[in-house]
Amino acid sequence: MIKQIFLVFLGGGVGSALRFLIAKNLNPLSVIPLGTLLVNFSGSLIIGFILGIGLKEEMISPNTTLLLATGFCGGFTTFSAFSFENVALLKAGDYINFGIYSAGSIFLGIAAILIGLWLSKMVQGLS
């Protein structure tokens, strides 16, 4: 159990640090928080791919799944930052960008999971 907690901790720390760096560098470039949008999309893509491979064919170990899906993706993606940024857009009265950002994040997150699952099937077909 200690090993699994450490794997989640390690993956979460790396994911959180990477999310911070991406958001810090990309969010100031636009009214819509592009860094958070990119992080949530790519994190959803990664978790879909990892879980697709790990659950279907057991191509990766449960510990690797803990490190990457639960740890890294859990630390990397961020619903709390997404929510906070939406509140900031609403407080600023920027309803159009609020709608674009909210709908885009939800749509892209779901699409990324589906693409990740599809990619995992493609990789499984190659082996």
The 8-class DSSP code of residue 29 comes to G
Provide CB contacts within 8 A for 120, sequence distance 6+.
48, 49, 50, 51, 52, 53, 56
Residues 6+ apart with CB under 8 A from 86: 98, 101, 102
pLDDT in tens, 6-28: 999 999 999 999 999 999 999 99
Confirm whether 8 is domain-assigned.
yes
**Domain ranges, residue 12:** 2-122
Does residue 127 fall inside a structural domain? no
Question: In Å, how far are 25, 28, 59, 61, 121 from 54, measured between CA atoms?
Answer: 32, 36, 6, 7, 11
Give the count of domains, the chain: 1
Nearest-angstrom CA–CA distance, 46 and 104: 18
Q: Compute the average pLDDT of residues 88-99.
A: 95
What are the pLDDT digits (tens) for 42-67? Answer: 999 998 898 888 776 678 888 998 99
